[in-house]
């Protein structure tokens, strides 16, 4: 279970122990590698090759400044001490009083390991400890793996949709999910 005071979750997993903790300014490379590998595997096929490659490369380097600047809650999930999942949450600009999970990615090497569920629980525990009662997120409509995961960990689809342009001028449809953290 997560104890927000020590920033760790411990659970058994098929590949070794699973832990999660708040990322530090020293974790920029690890967070970037997870984000780039996961985004590349899940989303790059949706874009022209040049746009996909730029998206992968930019995700490798953007985390250093965010971590150094303390922008939101960035968490890392580990399997046998290897960082394989990351999340980034901020207070929602669109939904006052909500937290928004703005990024949640698992390296393909961690898919099916249990690290995603452990990291999500640790993230939600931290958001609860930070005083949030509800959390929401957006995910691409045409990514069934992410949609199944969010439903499995308790999120429900709100029915809200939006489009997001990832830099190639072709907006992609997203769907919103939310979760009540406490009654």
Over residues 13-35, the pLDDT tens digits come to 666 799 999 999 999 999 999 99
User: Which region, left, alpha or beta, applies to residue 7 given φ > 0 means left and ψ of -120 to 50 means alpha?
Assistant: left
Per residue, the 3-state secondary structure of 22-90, as one string, reads: ECCHHHHHHHHHHHHHHHHHHCHHHCCHHHHHHHHHHHHHCHHHHHHHCCCEEEEEEECCEEEEEEEEE
Give the pLDDT confidence score for residue 120 in this predicted structure.
Answer: 97
* DSSP single-letter state for residue 141: T
d(CA 79, CA 53): 27
pLDDT score for 43: 82
Cα distance from N-terminal residue to C-terminal residue, the chain: 20
Q: How confident is the model at residue 167 (pLDDT cuts 50, 70, 90)?
A: confident
Reference 104, options 81, 127, 131, 133; nearest CA is 127
- Classified as helix, coil or strand, 128 is helix
Mean pLDDT of 90-119: 96
CA 153/CA 50 separation, integer angstroms: 34
CB atoms within 10 A of CB 156: 12
pLDDT over 90, % of the chain? 72
Tell me how far apart the alpha carbons of residues 49 and 58 are, in angstroms, rounded to a whole number.
Answer: 14
């Amino acid at each position: 279970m997560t104890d927000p005071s020590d920033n760790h979750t411990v659970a058994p997993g098929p590949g070794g122990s699973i832990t999660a903790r708040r990322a530090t300014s020293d974790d920029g490379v690890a967070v970037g590698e997870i984000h780039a590998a996961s985004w590349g595997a899940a989303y790059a096929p949706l874009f022209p090759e040049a746009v996909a490659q730029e998206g992968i490369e930019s995700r490798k380097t953007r985390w250093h400044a965010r971590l150094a600047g303390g922008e939101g809650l960035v968490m890392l999930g580990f399997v046998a001490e290897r960082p394989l999942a990351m999340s980034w949450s901020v207070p929602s600009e669109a939904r006052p009083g909500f937290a928004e999970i703005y990024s949640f990615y698992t390296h393909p090497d961690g898919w099916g390991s249990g690290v995603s569920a452990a990291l999500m629980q640790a993230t939600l525990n931290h958001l609860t400890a930070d005083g949030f009662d509800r959390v929401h997120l957006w995910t691409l409509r045409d990514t069934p793996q992410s949609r199944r995961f969010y439903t499995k960990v308790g999120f429900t689809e709100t029915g809200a949709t939006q489009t997001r342009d990832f830099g190639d001028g072709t907006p992609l449809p997203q769907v919103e999910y939310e979760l009540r953290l406490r009654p």
